[in-house]
Amino acid sequence: MADLKNKNIRQRMKKLPRRTLQLISTAQDTAAALGAGAYLVGGFVRDVILGVGNFDLDIVVEADGILFAQEFARRTSGSIVSHTRFGTASVALEGGLKVDIATARKETYPVPACLPQVSRGTLRDDLARRDFTINAMAASISAGDFGLLVDFFGGAEDLRRGKIRVLHPLSFRDDPTRILRAIRFEKRYGFTIEPLSLRLLKQAVAQGLIQRVGPHRLRDELVLNLKEKRVLEQLKRIRELTGFGFIHPRAAFPPAAQALAVSCQRELSWFKRKFPRHRGVDSWLVYLACLLEELNNDEVRETCRRFALRGGDEKRILSYKKAGGSLIRRLAQKSLRPSEIFGCLEPLSYEAIILLRARTKDARVRKRTEDFFEIYNGMKLYISGDDLRRLGIAPGPYYRKIFSEVLAAKLNGEVRTPQEELALIKKIREAL
Ligand code: CTP
């Protein structure tokens, strides 16, 4: 990163996508109309300086942030969600862009690891409450000093030197989720947590402060680590600095689970390369399953509930746990018909199949799971419910049975044309 000329990032901001620049310009007009000082803050400023893409705008206003957000939403035809208690609002815009707007605030943490008490403050207060120096910078968006960097804590210098540094010694105690955040930024940018901050981080870990954070907040933070590009490095560093006891006392992520995570990474990129048009796989869930590898089904269920994972997410992990080794053995059998392979894999999530592939080197299992993704899973029948009705079959539970029998025949190559499908249906009907 080059040195910043005159502590101004105007030139760097000019390189932002047009749409982002338009939004910043609208925010500038809004600020002028309301006579309020407004600043871009946090990760957005950090990433503008680093020259990496970050398209969610984060704005702090030294005035009523909600009023600002209402006016901004009016000018951009965005839809606004406000949190009056915190003086914050989110404006969602066409194309999936989001602008977070907040009244400048001060925070105090009466109880460690619990949510802070919030009161109105200055821009400096607002920056001083943040996690790391690199995230505690602001850039003015007012016309008079557009792009002027506000950097009370040496964030630009730490960015230049690649350092993650807390703003004060109680930072990790106030908010232990920052432990995971420090690791996230360290590994994302290839930075290092500077020695004093690392010492403070280790102290907070030793005092068991992570366990005092509400599980939902921990889950959100961990999922962000699991969504990072260099996820294996993230996991290695979390294991080294905190361990995974905050997930479950038996979640130790031993070498076997680490090897599974490495295989999963290979399988996930294979899947993405090979099936770019298939629905995406939630890679974070695959890695979470690796972290839960040592646990039994009940422990996994209990952990998912405690972390309040969505029911669907819990099912996807459990479907892998339950199927596990026995399904691999079945899929490795010599003679299996396509319909049987389909029957094995269809109830599983894509994530579970990726995990199964990662667990085995068996060529047959690998080929069959590939065929499932490539051929069987997308196979469609010519006939529809209308055809069944035309044949005088009343809608009901038989439909499902008929469809799955015809599909099985089609997978096995026993029927090919629409006429053959119809002929088979007639046969099934007679048997019914
Ligand atoms: N923040 C903080 N402490 C936290 C969470 C957030 O101080 N526990 C502050 C940081 O200044 C951060 C900003 O709030 O930059 C926005 O938070 P978030 O969107 O979570 O982080 P980003 O820095 O934008 O990170 P990312 O690029 O991963 O979205």
DSSP code string of 66-130:
HHHHHHHHHHHT-EEEEEGGGTEEEEE-GGG-EEEEEE-EEEE-SSTTSPPEEEE--HHHHHHTS
Question: DSSP letter at 58?
Answer: E
Beta bridge pairs of residue 41: 138
Q: Is 108 exposed, middle or buried (0-12, 13-18, 19+ CB in 10 A)?
A: exposed
What does the buried/exposed string (b/e) look like for 413-427 if buried means 16 or more CB atoms within 10 Å of the residue's CB?
eebeeeeebbebbee
pLDDT mean over 296-316:
89
| Furthest-apart CA atoms within the chain: distance in Å | 85
Taking CA atoms only, the protein residue closest to ligand 1 atom 7 is 130
C-alpha 222 to ligand 1 mean position (Å): 14
CATH architecture for residues 1-161: 2-Layer Sandwich (3.30)
Using DSSP, state whether 358 is helix, strand or coil.
Answer: helix
Taking CA atoms only, the protein residue closest to ligand 1 atom 5 is 131
Taking CA atoms only, the protein residue closest to ligand 1 atom 20 is 43
The pLDDT of residue 394: 79
Instruction: Give the residues surrounding ligand 1 with Cβ less than 6 Å away.
Output: 42-43, 54, 58, 130-131, 135-136, 175, 177-178, 181
C-alpha 262 to ligand 1 mean position (Å): 28
Q: Which atom of ligand 1 is nearest to the CA of 185?
A: 28
Q: Which residue has the higher pLDDT, 238 or 380?
A: 238
Taking CA atoms only, the protein residue closest to ligand 1 atom 29 is 43
The pLDDT of residue 264: 97
Contact predicate 213/177, CB 8 Å: yes
pLDDT band at 6 (very low <50, low <70, confident <90, very high): low
Which residue bears the tokens 């490095």? 233
Q: How far apart are CA 266 and CA 304, in angstroms?
A: 25
| Cα dihedral across residues 146, 148, 152, 157: positive or negative | positive
C-alpha 294 to ligand 1 mean position (Å): 32
Residue closest to 112 by CA, chosen among 214, 199, 180? 214
> pLDDT, tens digit, for every residue of 183-233?
999 999 999 999 999 999 999 999 999 999 999 999 999 999 999 999 999
CA dihedral 370, 372, 378, 382 (to 10 degrees): 130
Residue 252 has pLDDT above 50, yes or no: yes
Q: What is the pTM of this model?
A: 0.91
* Distance set, CA 215 to CA 65, 156, 302, 366 (Å): 29, 33, 12, 37
Amino acid found at 251: A
> pLDDT, tens digit, for every residue of 321-378?
888 778 888 888 888 898 999 988 988 999 999 999 999 999 999 999 998 998 888 7
C-alpha 43 to ligand 1 mean position (Å): 6
Residue closest to 40 by CA, chosen among 68, 56, 60, 20? 60
What does the mean pLDDT of the chain come to? 91
> pLDDT, tens digit, for every residue of 408-430?
888 888 888 888 888 888 888 78
The pLDDT of residue 95: 83
Amino acid found at 217: R
The pLDDT of residue 46: 96
Q: How far apart are CA 356 and CA 260, in angstroms?
A: 10
The pLDDT of residue 58: 97
The pLDDT of residue 2: 44
Question: What is the distance, to the nearest Å, from the Cα of residue 352 to the centroid of all Cα atoms in its chain?
Answer: 18
Q: Which atom of ligand 1 is nearest to the CA of 181?
A: 8
C-alpha 171 to ligand 1 mean position (Å): 14
Q: How many CB atoms lie within 10 A of CB 11?
A: 10
C-alpha 57 to ligand 1 mean position (Å): 12
Q: How far apart are CA 227 and CA 224, in angstroms?
A: 5
Contact predicate 204/210, CB 8 Å: yes
Question: DSSP letter at 40?
Answer: E
How much of the chain is helix, strand and coil, in % rounded to 5? Answer: 60, 10, 30
Residue 146 structure tokens? 């557009």
Domain ranges of the chain: 1-161, 255-376, 385-431
Q: Do domains 1-161 and 255-376 have the same CATH topology?
A: no
Residue 173 has pLDDT above 60, yes or no: yes
pLDDT mean over 36-60:
92
Top-tier CATH class for 255-376? mainly alpha
pLDDT mean over 307-329:
85
pLDDT band at 3 (very low <50, low <70, confident <90, very high): low
C-alpha 244 to ligand 1 mean position (Å): 22
Q: Which residue has the higher pLDDT, 69 or 343?
A: 69
Most informative mutation of 130, 133, 217, 226 for ligand 1 (most atoms within 8 A of CB): 130
Sequence-separated (6 or more) residues with CB below 8 Å from residue 329: none
Residue closest to 63 by CA, chosen among 74, 72, 50, 52? 72
C-alpha 131 to ligand 1 mean position (Å): 8
